[in-house]
Amino acid sequence: PYYARPTQEALYRWYATIAGEFPHLPIVIYNVPSRTAVDIHPQTVARLRHAHDNIIGIKETTKDFEHFSRVLHLCGRDFLMWSGIELLCLPLLAIGGAGFVSAAANLAPATVARMYTAYTTGDHTTALDLHYALHPLVDLLFVETNPAPAKWVLHQRGLIASAHVRPPLIPPTDAGVRRIEELLAQSKEIAG
């Protein structure tokens, strides 16, 4: 695990350096404080956005919906935001988010795609039904440290060659596998 937590100024300089070195490439910021112990503040995101035309969006993996709203407000409606928190996907779309980067889509791609399409075509009832149907799969992803549970399921389905995860992660424990199987049974109709 990384040890040093950068300040907002250090984060700004890091992304500014990347954006400056590769002005022809679109850059997407990734904010994942649960993994990095550092939150990229909305003001820092806005400062980057307004200084570099090629910073086009952010993957927000926070549970702070106010944070989502502030970033979108400060960065403008053409700034793209994707949610990395499964259960905040639909609310983010409602305030102008572009979509989501879904780990659950690895396990139920058709269902996640149908949910997105239903929402964006105005069928909010279907979108909400699918959103709630996905809850057991979302819970499954975090029975133990993700991506271990997802890789275990994909390997069991024969979709990937190995459930191996890089250390210090480990494959799901026996207790974890039992819980994963319970949650898969609850979501059998959508999980394939």
- Please give the torsion angle defined by the CA atoms of residues 63, 182, 167 and 8, in that order, rounded to the nearest 10 degrees: 0
Give residue 93's identity as a one-letter amino acid code: L
Token pair for 45: 């995101």
Asked if 148 and 165 touch (Cβ cutoff 8 Å), the reply is yes
The yes-or-no answer on residue 151 being catalytic is no
- Rounded to whole angstroms, the Cα distance separating 2 from 4 reads 6
Give residue 187's identity as a one-letter amino acid code: S
- Rounded to whole angstroms, the Cα distance separating 190 from 192 reads 6
Among candidate residues 30, 119, 151, 188, the one labeled active-site is 30
Asked if 65 and 94 touch (Cβ cutoff 8 Å), the reply is no
Quote the crossing angle between the two packed helices 174-186 and 148-156, to the nearest 10°: 70
Among candidate residues 3, 15, 59, 63, the one labeled active-site is 59
Token pair for 32: 């994942």
The yes-or-no answer on residue 15 being catalytic is no
- Active-site positions? 30, 59
